[in-house]
Amino acid sequence: MRHFLAIDLGAESGRVILGTLADGKLALEELHRFPNTPVRLATGLHWDTFRLFHEIQQGLAVAGRERHLKLDGIGVDTWGVDYGLFDANGELIANPRHYRDERNDGMLEKTFAVVPREDVFAETGIQFMQLNSLYQFYASKLANSPGLANAKTLLFMPDLLNYWLTGVMKAERTIASTSQFYNPKLRTWATGLLGKLGLPVQILPEIVDPGVKLGNLHGWLAEGSGLAETPVFTSAGHDTASAVAAVPATGDDWCYISSGTWSLMGVEIDEPIINEQSLALNYTNEIGVGGKVRLLKNIAGLWLLQECKRSWEAEGKNFSYDELTKLAGEARPKVALIDPDAFLHTGNMPQRIADWCKEHGQAVPETTGEFCRVILESLAERYRQVLENLESLTGRRINVIHIVGGGSRNMLLNKLVAEATGRRVIAGPVEATAAGNILVQAIGSGAIKDLDEARAVVRASFEVVEVQ
């Protein structure tokens, strides 16, 4: 029996999850949950970094002091692109900005004025989004950031937390590949691109693969949490890479949707596809577990529903997600179709959707249920478009869509996806990210062999639902 901890930071909450691996099966148990909400200051939108690390320590203490566990590993995953800057003494000198920070507005155009869009894609093969690390990095330079001027090391968020856990500064490959300054063909930093933009390449750390032991938990952390000497593994630091590692798929005729705040829809391939077609379609080539490439599209996901829920709560209308899904199921179908990716920033989402519909000559949703149904139907239609583009890019037929993550519980959305695409849709596991995080650690520790065995463990451990 092996015990691993997954530290998983999602867009709404963070969790410390215990994974127990025994007899070819994985059991998960949530030990500690805490909110993960950005903090708005006059300077912009930031991660609440120190509080999050405090909560992580609380989760470690549950494992050590309350449960008296001996752990075989700890691993961290978060979303991509965001980073912190450290000085020569190893102190955080620029608190990480949140990717929805308005500082990124207009940065693509400013970057392309120096390096053409085609050249950026040729170097990185990454979908153009203003939230990407490249544009955050360049915005910091244009703002004459004192933090950047004095930075010794740049660490993406999982790498930052790994450093605080172990004292080791490394860049994990899956998270590095989300930055748009990583070259997926050469499997190293795109230093030429950064040089053209006048960005410091010397602050980028060594890149290591998922499943590498970084070191042991700091002694003071082990003592404070009641844990013995415990290894910390890189895991797959990008939460989507962890989730894809836990897709219970066989064969090669499948794609995945990692469904949550964002929907990331793609396929696994052996080499990146960086050509005129993938540039025109604006697809991304990120690194996965086992040396795989994740050819995918980022879609704005259930973020729109989450923001609507927040807006309604501010008006005193409190709905659970199950209630919103029920209302959507009862609402008029096909009131309007919106572009989910047109809604990046926070704000009054129902009003923003209504305004978008008016501007595009479409009917405006009238009820709570209609707003929810418009979001879900629009996501399903977007998935259909992405599916067809993936087939065109890879030249292979996709027969099965695996939907994993928290969004896989939304059976109305799953049904709409099946109807829109005409493909088999299999939902689950819900906890794919935590499962993948733990299974990558297990590969690193030698407890399981490889990605194929990890997926066999998933199939043996979690119930999935085929959507009818």
Catalytic residues: 239
User: How many Å from the N-terminal Cα to the C-terminal Cα in the chain?
Assistant: 37
Q: Using DSSP, state whether 159 is helix, strand or coil.
A: helix
Residue tagged 């599916």 (tokens): 387
What radius of gyration do the chain's Cα atoms show?
21
Whole-angstrom distance, CA of residue 243 vs CA of residue 254: 15
Strand partners, 295: 267, 285
Is the four-CA dihedral 96, 407, 253, 28 of positive or negative sign? positive
List helix spans (H) across 253-363: 276-281, 303-314, 321-330, 349-359
Q: Using DSSP, state whether 124 is helix, strand or coil.
A: helix
- DSSP labels, 376-445: HHHHHHHHHHHHHHHHHHHT----EEEEESGGGG-HHHHHHHHHHH-SEEEE--TTHHHHHHHHHHHHHH
Tokens of residue 215, six digits: 């070191």
- DSSP labels, 54-93: HHHHHHHHIIIIIT----SEEEEEB-SS-EEEE-TTS-EE
Check whether the bond before 429 is cis (ω within 30° of 0).
Answer: yes
